[in-house]
Structure 1
Amino acid sequence: MADAKQQVHLNGAYYGPPVPPRQRSFRSVGRSSGCCCGPCCLLCNLFKFLLSLVIVLGVVVLVLWLVFRPNQPKARVDTASLVQFNLTDSTTLRYNLSLDLTVRNPNRRLSFYYDRLDARAEYDGDRFGFTNLPTFHQGHKNTTVIRSILFDGTQSFLGDSIGETYRRENSEGFYYIDVKVRAKMRVKVWIFKLRYNRPHIDCTLKLPVPGSGGAFESTGCDVHIF
């Protein structure tokens, strides 16, 4: 009997706690949560694109560097002979200098095409000699010797400042002469050839005064390509 009364009570109307109404969402007119348009958004998207491009290029360059490991060529002057180096009236220089330049490519995957080479000799910051050098191709792990680079002639200088340097070094028994090589070259990577227009090789030579009995010592050079 109790069960029947309970059943009747359950089948009747049930007044529970009130159900709160669903809240309606409102959007402000002129605002968008998914996308935007206008100069500011375009600049923002452009910045993101450029940043992504820089990151991708940086990763590519890093991977290529790790794969190829490019190294600067090596250069040195093993033999040099200063037959004549006379400065008269502190302005006129009579010179005769010859040398052999050795260039080494230490790379396993890069080869070099030296399309144009010229060398100049300088003393106390002033150029006194110039000559063209033969062009050549240098393969992987290859050594090339450019023999008998000759500077021979007479050069006049303005002023007598060079005379002080000449007299001091003459008394010391050695002249310091700079030989600078400038080139136009291509670097070959696989089937690609990259052009470099201003690579240079700088050598500072310590040459004994002619007739002094001194000996020239093999000298390394600074090479700047990459």
Structure 2
Amino acid sequence: MGDADVEKQAPENGPDSSPPPEPTSRLGLILKVVAAIVVLLGLTILFFWIAVNPRKMKFYVTDASFTQFSLSNDNTTLQYNLRLYVTVRNPNRRIGFHYDVVEAGAYYDGERFDSANLMSFYQPRKTTTVVDAWFSGQRRLSLDSDEVVEFNERKGNSGIYPVDVKIRFFTSIKLGTMNIGDFKVKVKCGLKVPLSGSSAAGFTTTKCDVDFNPLLVIYND
């Protein structure tokens, strides 16, 4: 037996014949890791907000009156002077609110007759802020004959006019040193506003509806 026989008996050192890992198994592993991270992050946020127990801010119109609210001789132009006071309450014990780009609009019979920019402000936890809004001027309205009759009847009878005030703004939540989010908030106040000098009773404090549902925030009313 020679060297040739030894060479014949030696194992060949060829390439690894084991099959490569399937791409689908790698993809499945990646998806599982991503899903686990998402679930963990979601649970962290959930427990965090439950511990903070955030509540919506509350809006009330505490006073409102017209010193002028009348139609021109041709019944096409509304002349108005409306002043109102809005009380904003932050009921939270741990978080504050920033109120930015605050705009209020006044509506009669579903038609906006004026808008006003209100002050931006920061509201600490468990505090109340009073904001005033003033609408004054004149505006053409598209009232039909029946609506004109109704307008004049209200002036002659009750001296009280239904007015919707809608407030929109952006808010962020302050928790400690962190400012979280930039959320859009809509507030609607359905008011019965008396005309000064008429026989109408005074204004009744009115609670407003607050539409504030930012992503990943759980609110208690």
Which one-letter code corresponds to 2:201 in the other structure?
Answer: G
Which of 141, 149, 169 is matched with 1:157 structurally?
141
Deviation above 6 Å: which 4+ runs of structure 1? Answer: none
* Unpaired stretches in structure 2, ≥5 consecutive residues: 1-16, 214-221
- Counterpart of 2:202? 215
TM-score after normalising by structure 2:
0.76
Residues 80-119 of structure 1 aligned to structure 2 (within 5 Å): 80-88=64-72, 89-119=74-104
Is the 8 Å Cα contact of residues 173 and 181 (structure 2) preserved in structure 1? yes
Larger RCO, structures 1/2 (Cα 8 Å, 6+ apart): 2
Report if the CA contact (8 A) 1:188-1:194 is conserved: yes
1:3 corresponds to which residue? none
| Partners of 2:154 and 2:30 in 1: CA distance | 62
| Pairwise CA distance, 1:160 | 2.8
Q: Deviation string for 1:145-180 (max 9, x for gaps)?
A: 113x21111011246385466357557733211111
Show CA shifts across 1:10-62 (max 9, x none).
xxxxxxxxxxxxxxxxxxxx997xx9422x32442233223212211221121
**Aligned runs of 1:54-133 on 2, under 5 Å?**
54-88=38-72, 89-133=74-118
Structure 1 gaps, min length 5: 1-29
State which drifts further: 152-161 or 198-207. 152-161
Alignment-mate amino acid for residue 122 of structure 1:
Y
Q: TM-score, normalised by structure 1?
A: 0.75
Aligned alpha-carbon RMSD (Å): 2.6
- Equivalence for 1:144: 129
Partner of 1:48, secondary structure, is helix
Q: Which of the numbers 171, 176, 201 marks the counterpart of 1:185?
A: 171
Deviation at 1:194, TM superposition (A): 1.9
Greater displacement, 85-94 / 182-191:
85-94
Q: Equivalent residue for 1:52?
A: 36
AA aligned to 1:109 is: R
CA contact (8 A) 2:65 2:195 kept: no
SS at match of 1:199: strand
Give the aligned length. 193
Structure with higher Rg: it is: 1
Cα–Cα, structure 1 residues 37 and 80, in superposed 2: closer, same or farther, change >3 Å?
same
